[in-house]
Structure 1
């Protein structure tokens, strides 16, 4: 087995069959993930510009539909 010192891109991770199965199970789409990443990027850029980056205040970001949110609340990590 060889060791690869390279991080996967978001697109590579979203293309992984296991990740796709888990996202389907949780009702989350690839576009939900991309949208959330964009929101976080914009929020970080805004906070950084105002010197607030690293504060303890967190913004809640919703994933997918309300039904998907309900599914995630029922699931527990094994």
Structure 2
């Protein structure tokens, strides 16, 4: 009975610590975002006359980067 109680307390403590650590890391990521190049190469897009995407091609380095507006 005591072992089960200690295990429950340890599990709850670990879950609480993990939640606090995740929240702290999220805040640090928002406060200090990683540096990004000023201009990324975006994928070539083929659109129809209404602006709907028909096809996109990968960048020369093999990544899919769609332009955002």
Q: Which has the higher strand share?
A: 2
Q: Which has the higher contact order (CA 8 A, sep 6+)?
A: 1
Q: Which has the higher helix share?
A: 1
Q: One fold, TM greater than 0.5?
A: no
The structure number with the bigger radius of gyration is 2
What is the TM-score when the length of structure 2 is the normalising length?
A: 0.34
What is the TM-score when the length of structure 1 is the normalising length?
A: 0.31
